[in-house]
Amino acid sequence: MDLPRSFTIRESSHRIHSPFSPEKLAVLGQALRPAPGTRILDLACGTGEMLCTWARDHRLTGTGVDISTVFIASAEARAIELGVADRVCFVHGDASGHVADEPVEIAACIGATWIGGGMPGTVELLRRSLGPGGTMLIGEPYWRREPPDRATVEACHATDRDDFRPLPELIEQFGELGCDVVEMVLADRDSWDRYVAAQWLNIRRWLDDNPDDELAADMRAELTVAPVQHVRYQREYLGWGVFALMDR
């Protein structure tokens, strides 16, 4: 049970596995104003940057769950680096079935709502771990502009136009699921660039070091088209944000 190796190659230098800058992650933590000792569950936590930095900055405690052995090892090292290994822990496992042993104050899934079969299912999954009056954090794409054709949809990693919604419709959907939207922090084009362009450098350096690897041809093909796809499609049409929700 692990992530495909191509994913960990692509994001080998990333601390945040979404189009969020460290500054935006910090803004989100400041906006939520969590009290010291707040418990957080982070499903599909990646390398654990949210848990580790918020444990340092806000004295939270919590658990991160991720399917990647590489990312879990990096998260544990990050916790030691920031001096918070006594307040956070990381579990290698399938986040799609993980429910906290005891209710938490914040339950999060940032940019991996596939674990619940989509955003509505992920909201239901997070609810199973959330205590009364708690907050859910959902990281989710939305259409910045209406995609004009199939090529745009597919270049934005969607199988269908209806996989994502425009931002007003996404906010309405949260309400239809019985949630109040109480905060949001949105990615901008610069944070998208930093997230995606770093992947290109990771791939190129990996290719230089591993020209005969069985994945080399696929990674070479990806690097050839990815920069153009980003500037032509993703940068213009795809938005992304983290939304804080509370049950009504």
Segment 189-197 mean pLDDT: 96
Compute how many other C-beta atoms are within 10 angstroms of the C-beta atom of residue 228.
10
Contact 47, 25 (CB under 8 A): no
CA dist., res. 191 & res. 24, Å (int): 9
At 137-181, the pLDDT tens digits run 999 999 999 999 999 999 999 999 999 999 999 999 999 999 999
Closest-CA residue to 237 (of 160, 162, 159, 155): 155
Per-residue model confidence (pLDDT) at position 97: 87
Instruction: Name the band, by pLDDT with cuts 50, 70 and 90, for residue 24.
Output: very high
Task: Give Cβ neighbours of residue 176 (< 8 Å, ≥ 6 apart).
Answer: none
- Tell me the pTM: 0.95
Per-residue model confidence (pLDDT) at position 109: 97
Instruction: Name the band, by pLDDT with cuts 50, 70 and 90, for residue 2.
Output: confident
**Is the pLDDT assigned to residue 1 strictly greater than 90?**
no
Segment 116-139 mean pLDDT: 97
User: Reduced to 3 states, what is the DSSP secondary structure of residue 124?
Assistant: helix
CA dist., res. 33 & res. 108, Å (int): 15
Express as a percent the part of the chain with pLDDT over 90. Answer: 98
* CATH architecture of the domain with residue range 5-247: 3-Layer(aba) Sandwich (3.40)
At 49-70, the pLDDT tens digits run 999 999 999 999 999 999 999 9
**Is the pLDDT assigned to residue 211 strictly greater than 90?**
yes
